[in-house]
Structure 1
Amino acid sequence: MNSLAPVALTSAFAYLAAKTLRGKRREMEKPIANLSVDLPKSLKDTKYPAKLHNANVQNHLNEKDAAFLICGNHVEGVKYCDISKPFRQERYFYYLSGVDIPNSTILYLTSLKKLILFLPDVNSDDIIWSGMPMSIEEASKKFDVDEVHYLKEFNNIFRMYENDITKLYTTDLDNFKVNESVFKSLLDSKKIVAKDEKFFNSMDEARLIKDEYEIEILRYASKINDNCHLAVMSALPIELTEYQIQAEFEYHALRQGSRTLGYDPICCSGPACGTLHYVTNTEELKEKESVLIDSGCEWMNYTTDVTRCFPINGKFTKEHREIYEAVLDMQAQTMSLMKPGARWEDLHILSHKVLIKHLMNLGILRNEFTEDEIFESKVTCAFYPHGLGHLMGLDVHDVAGKPNYEDPNPYFAFLRLRRELKANMVVTNEPGCYFNEFLMKEFLEKYPERTKMVNFDVLKKYMYVGGVRIEDDILITKDGHENLTGITSDPDEIEKIVSKGLSKSRSNFHVVV
């Protein structure tokens, strides 16, 4: 890996360079300056359906005289420093509340189907530095709850219902310790049930099936994400390094209201495209042929997860195009079968069988072996070790997938989804093909029967590509599926987008800072 060499610039040259770069920024933004998405009408003047979500969990739990008591995350400080870590709301709490306020608490009474929100107490010092917090009246209008109180009223409110509660379910007790003086007597109660497997399973199964409100959030987030990927493809003249690709994506995400990403973006080039969760994002793009960007915008705490690959110079090389079309075929064939009742394991196995055909046609896998022999050998795990996809929602790898990471079969060991598809599940479809020396050693050298199936002379011609992954976000509908991802994956269209961006600027201007 080559590190970036710092370049000293005089004040005058720095000024001219910055002015030119700003000019290029303005020039590059012309085709994408008006990127915007319209807020779905279905989300205007509506509330996040918190009470429905609590009722869904209750239906799975099947207990009438219980209660859910969950405290959201608090703002954490950075050790040995007076700044705070970025706030991320606890996902189970958000699913049951729709509240993104730190240090909030909810109480749901299953017998009454009543949801009560407790806001953190008002601190006058905080007002001086951070302004007025949300009031009880504002929270009552914004959130789908029956009552809103400040946390100091918790014990008085809880005593009103305590005798009607047989079990008090919570996720864990850690967040309650921040307000231990309020919850002290409650935490010692025999009624409280923390980290209960049945409760977690009930919440997971409820989150598995998305309601219309959640689906509209994901559609909106997907449109933001499409624009960000388009911007990256269109702006190569000002993307000289992997971290500038990341910066371009995050810039357009923030412009559209996505304040955070769902996960650390993967922005890699050349051979690094073969590293599955590459997050170094520092290498220069020069003398590389391929780019892979795996990045997803988050909006209202729901995330997208999309991967696109494109050629740096606007035209796929022969080998890059061949691998790209193989992966595109893997995705298309599995996509055509995505509907309720389809078994995810079957779709995953199909993607491997499609890859076998392509690698045999390219000569990477030897034709003296049959497709069945190659499949039984599991040699394609050296090129495609991960699963076809996973559930997606409040978390990028959402809950309820029922994986089995102890499965001795390498086809399934990293498969995050092991169940039948149902309507209103949201999954990713992300097959890939990689040329990674470590993967080769892991899956080939230890097993001579696999090694003899690979033509390493042909394989060498593809190593520079690194890898290709094509990932879309898919909503399972009652009759089939809907692809929430709109950014093109057609290789001809991708070439046109990248080439159009490159044609905007053909100067030799280059600044390393």
Structure 2
Amino acid sequence: MKYDPIDSQLFIKNRKNFAKYMQPSSLAIFNSNDIYPTGADSTLPFAQHRDIFYLSGVDQEESVLVIFPDCPKEKHREVLFLKETNEHIAVWEGEKLTKEKAFETSGIKTVYWLKDMEKVLFELMTQCDTVYLNTNEHYRASVETETREARFAKKLKDKYPAHSVAKSNPILQRLRSVKDPIELEIMQQACDITEKAFRRILQFTKPGVWEYNLEAEFMHEFLNNRSKGFAYTPIIASGNNANVLHYIENNQQCKAGDLILIDAGAEYANYSSDMSRTIPVSGKFTDRQKEVYNAVNRVKNEATKMLIPGAYWEQYHVEVGKLMTSELLGLGLLDKADVQNENPDWPAYKKYFMHGTSHHIGLDTHDYGLLHEPMQANQVFTVEPGIYIPDEGFGIRLEDDVVIQESGEPFNLMRNIPIETEEIEEIMN
């Protein structure tokens, strides 16, 4: 891995917290992701399943984690199964985890090779009544590919039909949404790498560059700072491209006088950062661009203050909508009649700001978190209002990643990334 080793105490603590929520006489099983083929003998780069990583720190394919707190044999209360490594594999594919290295990474003492899994798992299954299977229940999930977890679940239920089945996902939704201090340090590193890349972009941008040139500059800085790359597919949208919310072609030339909406963030150690900034191609905002930009920034700053323990995600968005309505009235984009006659299910402000303001972020860019439960300290949210005006040829979005505090305003992990118009113009010039 490119990233520095993570303290195994994080994963030891995560497993203990998960075990607290398990039913008596139950075990939980977690699988790595597959390596997905693209055709012929080519594959996509391996990306670890975030749940097994969260609970073990193992960042390798063909790995399986078992947690069995009530197991009669103490050594089987936590078990890792790994792809067996040897000299041939080391030469052709690179170093894989040894049993000793797996212990250093995860804090798990009992490590078997995968060839022993069927035998060991049979013994464990005879000693438990319930098995926790790991399904994807994220509110944005749309999965068409049969995953390794899904195949394993079918096989296990077929082989052990008398066992009760429970879901690990609700436990993980709660645990993963509240970040440990070690996780917050890693996320800060991801945001710091993003800052370096953005400052590079500010000095590089000028009329005539192409959107993909900016994407390349981001990647250059990310890789030089031990990141695998983008935490998600980047948006580099100049001019009216910014009014396409998920514009990812990044293939147009940036023209003088236009704005560029940038939505990009580095991953680091599988954790995401998520930044949006909007900059002038020519290094200076027009008066109108600055007027709209500052309106978006005010909404972002006020919305950030609302992210406090006990707040509810749905009501928070209602309040942000009121802030945005006021700004759009001030900009002349809405009038009082628009607001008075608005559809409550699609308020007037949605014409210019049609997406949500905040989502959980962590191991996934749209991270785990139960949106019907109140916000808690050490949850991390994005704050990303925007105003999109196709008729004027630009769209503006600003986004930071913030940590909810026990008291006071959230802590901004992106506090050092330039955002005020004056600072952006000064760096660009």
Tell me the TM-score normalised to structure 1 length: 0.74
Do 2:207 and 2:256's aligned partners in 1 also have CA atoms closer than 8 Å? no
Counterpart of 1:107 in structure 2 is: 66
Do 1:356 and 1:375's aligned partners in 2 also have CA atoms closer than 8 Å? no
How far apart are the structure 1 equivalents of 2:285 and 2:402? 27
How far the C-alpha of 1:474 sits from its partner, in A, is 0.7
Name which of 381, 397, 410 aligns with 1:469.
397
**2:418 is equivalent to residue 496 of structure 1:** no
Q: Which amino acid aligns with 1:158?
A: L
SS in 2 for 1:260: coil
**2:45 is equivalent to residue 86 of structure 1:** yes
Do 2:353 and 2:386's aligned partners in 1 also have CA atoms closer than 8 Å? yes
Q: Which has the larger radius of gyration?
A: 1
Do 1:221 and 1:303's aligned partners in 2 also have CA atoms closer than 8 Å? yes
Deviations 1:446-476 (A, max 9, x none): xxxxxxxxxxxxxx4xx22x21111000101
Counterpart of 1:202 in structure 2 is: 171
The change in CA–CA distance for 1:385 and 1:227 in structure 2 (over 3 A counts) is same
How far apart are the structure 1 equivalents of 2:367 and 2:111? 29
Name which of 270, 289, 292 aligns with 1:320.
289
Deviations 1:109-148 (A, max 9, x none): 1225832111112366533422442211222222221311
Q: Which amino acid aligns with 1:493?
A: E
Counterpart of 1:510 in structure 2 is: none
**2:389 is equivalent to residue 435 of structure 1:** yes
| Unmatched runs of 5 consecutive residues or more in structure 2 | 136-145
Name which of 248, 256, 279 aligns with 2:217.
248
**2:272 is equivalent to residue 303 of structure 1:** yes
Do 1:48 and 1:213's aligned partners in 2 also have CA atoms closer than 8 Å? no
**2:116 is equivalent to residue 153 of structure 1:** yes
Alignment of 1:413-428 (within 5 A): 418-428=372-382
- Identity value in percent: 27
Do 1:390 and 1:401's aligned partners in 2 also have CA atoms closer than 8 Å? no
How far the C-alpha of 1:184 sits from its partner, in A, is 6.4
How far apart are the structure 2 equivalents of 1:146 and 1:372? 65
SS in 2 for 1:49: helix
How far the C-alpha of 1:207 sits from its partner, in A, is 1.1
SS in 2 for 1:190: coil
Alignment of 1:363-378 (within 5 A): 363-367=332-336, 369=337, 378=347
How far the C-alpha of 1:401 sits from its partner, in A, is 3.9
Following TM superposition, where does structure 1 have runs of at least 4 consecutive aligned residues deviating by more than 4 angstroms? 176-180, 183-187, 191-194, 370-377
**2:32 is equivalent to residue 46 of structure 1:** no
The change in CA–CA distance for 1:425 and 1:167 in structure 2 (over 3 A counts) is same
SS in 1 for 2:267: strand
Deviations 1:246-303 (A, max 9, x none): 1111110111011132110000101111111110100000245101110111111110
Tell me the TM-score normalised to structure 2 length: 0.87
Alignment of 1:98-497 (within 5 A): 98-111=57-70, 114-122=77-85, 125-171=88-134, 174-175=147-148, 188-190=159-161, 196=166, 198-237=167-206, 240-367=209-336, 369=337, 378-402=347-371, 418-436=372-390, 460=391, 463-464=392-393, 466-480=394-408, 481-485=410-414, 486-497=416-427
How far the C-alpha of 1:48 sits from its partner, in A, is 5.5
How far the C-alpha of 1:354 sits from its partner, in A, is 2.1
Q: What is the number of equivalent residue pairs in this alignment?
A: 410
How far apart are the structure 2 equivalents of 1:276 and 1:155? 47
SS in 1 for 2:368: coil
How far apart are the structure 2 equivalents of 1:239 and 1:168? 59
